[in-house]
Amino acid sequence: MVKNHLSRLVAPRSWPMKRKGIKFIARPRSGPHKLEDSITLKMIMQNFLKQTATARETKIVLNNGKVFVDNKIVKDPNYPISLMDTISIPSLDEYYRVLIDEHKKFKLNKITKENANLKLCKIIDKTLLKKNKLQINFSDGRNKIAEDKKYKVGDTLVLTLDKNEIKNHLKLEKGASIYLIAGKHKGLIATLESIELSKDTKEDRIKLKKGSETFETLKNYAFVIDNTLL
């Protein structure tokens, strides 16, 4: 059985918090993300937004239905929050997108109300169903049925959260803006130069450019983005 808490000393380094003092910290509920790739809504409210100071205050605010995650009211303080999720507090007219900074730690970027209705979802798998329909599986655990076969694993779809419609298709191709979600360069945004497909059991790699610097990393670490939505 998964414990509800873990020691601060062994908590993921992506969590920006003090390691000393209180011994334990709440663990995010089980979901589609690994522990190191998620953070609790409680920590978002207390450590990032500074909207509440205690667990009791956080519960009161959440129980009043004032906080939305991806356009849905969330009342669980330990609800798992991860990359590209949107946090909305309509009563304060505040909207944020969850990102990772270049120090590999979670951060919030303030966005517009319109952009808070859009979710960038990386395609990690797809399955051909009956009647020639395609099921697309995304990195955040959601899936969508589509009839168009042009969507490829590694591409990103921009979905509307209110109607679950495809707003835009961002291809993993040369010139694409890439947000690195793992590895040595996690949190960095760079431009895709080329994709190098492996001919053996090794993973495919990509070549990226950031300013005058060119470097390589695994293709699986790439998340195609639209910079205007971050």
Dump the DSSP string for the chain: ---SEEEGGGS-TTS-S-SSSSSEEEPPPS-SS-GGGEEEHHHIIIIIS---SSHHHHHHHHHTT--EETTEE---TT-EEETT-EEEEGGGTEEEEEEE-TTS-EEEEE--TTGGGEEEEEEEEEEE-GGG-EEEEETTS-EEEES-----TT-EEEEETTT--EEEEE-SSTT-EEEE-SSTTTT-EEEEEEEE--SSSSPPEEEEEETTEEEEEEGGGEEE--GGG-
Residues 146 and 197 in one domain: no
| Span 108-129, average pLDDT | 96
Residues 151 and 86 in one domain: no
Beta strands 86-89 and 94-100 are antiparallel
Residues 79 and 21 in one domain: yes
- Cα separation, 42 vs 68, whole angstroms: 13
Residues 137 and 210 in one domain: no
Which has the higher per-residue pLDDT, 9 or 219?
A: 219
Instruction: State residue 118 phi and psi, 5-degree precision.
Output: -115, 135
Residues 84 and 33 in one domain: yes
The percent of residues in the chain predicted with pLDDT above 90, rounded, is: 74
Tell me if 206 sits within 8 A of 195, measured CB to CB: yes
Q: What is the CATH number of the domain that holds 50?
A: 3.10.290.10
- The model's confidence at residue 201, banded by pLDDT at 50, 70 and 90, is confident
Which residue range is the domain that position 63 belongs to? 5-113
Residues 181 and 163 in one domain: no
| Span 59-77, average pLDDT | 96
Which has the higher per-residue pLDDT, 47 or 120?
A: 120
Residues 28 and 76 in one domain: yes
Tens of pLDDT, residue by residue over 77-97, are 999 999 999 999 999 999 999
Counting the structural domains of the chain, the total is 3
Instruction: State residue 198 phi and psi, 5-degree precision.
Output: -80, 145
| Span 149-177, average pLDDT | 96
Which has the higher per-residue pLDDT, 132 or 189?
A: 189
Tell me if 210 sits within 8 A of 188, measured CB to CB: yes
| Span 152-159, average pLDDT | 97
Residues 38 and 106 in one domain: yes
Tens of pLDDT, residue by residue over 32-41, are 777 788 999 9
Residue 70 has pLDDT above 50, yes or no: yes
Q: What is the mean pLDDT of the chain?
A: 90
Residues 156 and 95 in one domain: no
Residue 1 has pLDDT above 50, yes or no: no
Residues 27 and 104 in one domain: yes
Q: In this predicted structure, what is the pLDDT of residue 87? A: 97
Residues 184 and 132 in one domain: no
Residue 16 has pLDDT above 80, yes or no: no
Residue 163 has pLDDT above 50, yes or no: yes
pTM to 2 decimal places: 0.90
